[in-house]
């Protein structure tokens, strides 16, 4: 049984927030009202009509209920593990942000007192958890993944039960991991959610969840656990990185807090329209077709990369749209020196940009390679072979 208590976990000043309201919250616009309440430019946007002739001069819907319903429809499906959600997801379970990064930051501001409290991360992991923590003057307690890139539940539980546990308000878990590409066991998440003495929130970042086997998301669990937040994004599997839409699934109480502290119009009308289209039947059909291609190309890279002399083992898993792979020196050992040379030479002389990840814990000699199109992958394989041969001399 969890010791979670929102009233003592969230910051007192945040609990007292009264969300910004506008006149249109009180008097819903059906499209026929004369709108003279928000100091907008009634003559329309300063764009030639042939460029855009829409309603950009009006503020967007601050609540985005229709878009939230689309996200609920997407995730109200059977989920993994031994948890049976008591009810389906609903719009009151959601917070929409400008990418997942706004969700990460909003949670820090809601739960962590600057200079006094902190978060726990599991390196190697996504760097923005620590960056946002530093911006907010919030301490970071790193507890590494195991050698197999699994969550060390016993080790984290020991920290949370000890003196530091009282100061840790959030545990950030990336699943599938970045840069590990490996799903976290739902049982591990459940064990952390049920810590008997810790009053905090478990945040599971599922940015890459749609590249994993179907039914891997634990988003529906938020209706069963009041101390769970599951973050997702349209940037990856939906190919909409430019419009910046992130979503957090959580309890209605935490969602209310997050929605109260955010800017009232953070999701623009064009962004909302594109996101809604992507989550509609037509968009989901296109997404499914592209997912088949991405998974096929991922499998191709898993087969072809080891054929290149100097390419070592894959580390982590195969549950994302990227691979974490070792670069070897002449002796056959993973080498940061070789990997760094390959990284730089690929970009500077061959026009192929990947990520060097050798300085991350447990990732010695590793590059993280995103799955591209068939032609992009063919070019990458060819040029990697050339550059790696040079780097190992």
Q: 11, 72, 74, 29: which is closest to 258 by C-alpha?
A: 11
* CB neighbour list of residue 197: distance below 8 Å, 6 or more residues apart: 3, 160, 161, 165
pLDDT reported for residue 18: 81
Query: Which whole number is the average pLDDT over 44-53?
Result: 79
Strands 118-121 and 168-174: parallel
Q: Is the pLDDT of residue 291 over 70?
A: yes
DSSP assigned state of 226:
T
Please report, for the chain, the start and end positions of each structural domain, with discontinuous segments joined by +: 6-22+59-279, 284-391
Distance, in Å, from the CA atom of 370 to the CA atom of 323, rounded to the nearest integer, reads 6
pLDDT reported for residue 103: 95
Query: Which whole number is the average pLDDT over 120-145?
Result: 97
Query: Which whole number is the average pLDDT over 367-372?
Result: 98
Q: How far does Cα 258 stand from its chain's mean position?
A: 16
Q: Is the pLDDT of residue 46 over 90?
A: no
Task: Enumerate the H helices of 112-209 as residue ranges.
Answer: 128-135, 153-161, 186-193
Q: Is the pLDDT of residue 276 over 90?
A: yes
Q: How many CA atoms lie within 13 A of 214 on its CB side?
A: 7
pLDDT band at 53 (very low <50, low <70, confident <90, very high): low
Q: What is the pLDDT of residues 306-357, one digit of tens each?
A: 999 999 999 999 999 999 999 999 999 999 999 999 999 999 999 999 999 9
Here the tokens at position 223 are: 């209706």
Average per-residue pLDDT for the chain: 94
Domain topology for 6-22+59-279: 3.40.640
Query: Which whole number is the average pLDDT over 189-203?
Result: 96
Q: Is the pLDDT of residue 202 over 90?
A: yes
pTM to 2 decimals? 0.94
Query: Which whole number is the average pLDDT over 56-67?
Result: 90
Task: Enumerate the H helices of the chain as residue ranges.
Answer: 6-9, 12-15, 23-26, 65-75, 99-111, 128-135, 153-161, 186-193, 252-261, 269-278, 281-304, 336-350, 374-391
pLDDT reported for residue 168: 97
DSSP string, 19-44: ----HHHHS---S-S---SS---TT-
pLDDT band at 42 (very low <50, low <70, confident <90, very high): confident
Distance, in Å, from the CA atom of 378 to the CA atom of 100, rounded to the nearest integer, reads 31
Query: Which whole number is the average pLDDT over 172-183?
Result: 97
pLDDT reported for residue 338: 97
Q: Is the Cβ–Cβ distance between 266 and 97 less than 8 Å?
A: yes
| Domain boundaries 284-391, CATH class | alpha beta
Could you give the percent of the chain with pLDDT greater than 70? Answer: 99
């Amino acid at each position: 049984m969890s010791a979670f208590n929102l009233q003592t976990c969230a910051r007192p000043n945040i609990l007292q927030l009264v969300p910004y309201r506008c006149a249109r919250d009180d008097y819903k616009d059906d499209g026929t009202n004369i709108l003279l309440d928000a100091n907008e430019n009634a003559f329309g946007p300063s764009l030639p009509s042939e460029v855009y002739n829409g309603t950009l001069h009006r503020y967007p819907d601050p609540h985005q209920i229709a878009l939230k319903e689309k996200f609920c429809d997407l995730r109200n499906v059977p989920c993994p593990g031994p948890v049976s959600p008591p009810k389906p997801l609903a719009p009151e379970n959601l917070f929409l942000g400008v990418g997942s990064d706004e969700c990460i930051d909003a949670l820090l501001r809601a739960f962590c007192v600057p200079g006094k409290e902190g978060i726990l991360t599991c390196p190697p992991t996504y760097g923005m958890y620590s960056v946002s923590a530093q911006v907010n003057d919030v301490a970071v307690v790193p507890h590494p993944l195991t050698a197999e890139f699994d969550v060390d539940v016993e080790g984290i539980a020991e920290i949370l039960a000890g003196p530091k546990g009282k100061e840790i308000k959030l545990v950030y878990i990336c699943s599938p991991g970045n840069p590990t590409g490996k799903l976290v066991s739902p049982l591990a998440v459940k064990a952390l959610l049920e810590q008997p003495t810790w009053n905090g929130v478990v945040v599971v970042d599922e940015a890459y969840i749609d590249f994993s086997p179907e039914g891997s998301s634990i988003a529906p669990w938020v209706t069963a656990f009041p101390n769970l937040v599951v973050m997702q994004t349209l940037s990856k599997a939906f190919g909409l990185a430019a419009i910046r839409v992130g979503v957090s699934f959580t309890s209605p109480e935490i969602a209310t807090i997050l929605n109260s502290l955010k800017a009232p119009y953070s999701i623009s009308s064009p962004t909302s329209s594109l996101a809604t289209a992507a989550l509609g039947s037509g968009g989901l059909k296109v997404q499914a077709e592209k997912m088949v291609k991405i998974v096929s190309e991922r499998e191709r890279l898993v087969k072809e990369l080891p054929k290149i002399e100097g390419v070592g083992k894959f580390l982590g898993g195969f549950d994302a749209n990227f691979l974490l792979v070792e670069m070897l020196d002449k002796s056959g050992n993973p080498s940061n020196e070789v990997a760094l040379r390959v990284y730089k030479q690929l970009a500077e002389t061959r026009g192929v940009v990947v990520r060097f990840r050798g300085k991350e814990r447990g990732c010695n000699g590793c590059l993280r390679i995103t799955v591209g199109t068939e032609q992009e992958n063919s070019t990458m394989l060819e040029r990697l072979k050339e550059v790696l041969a040079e780097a190992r001399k």
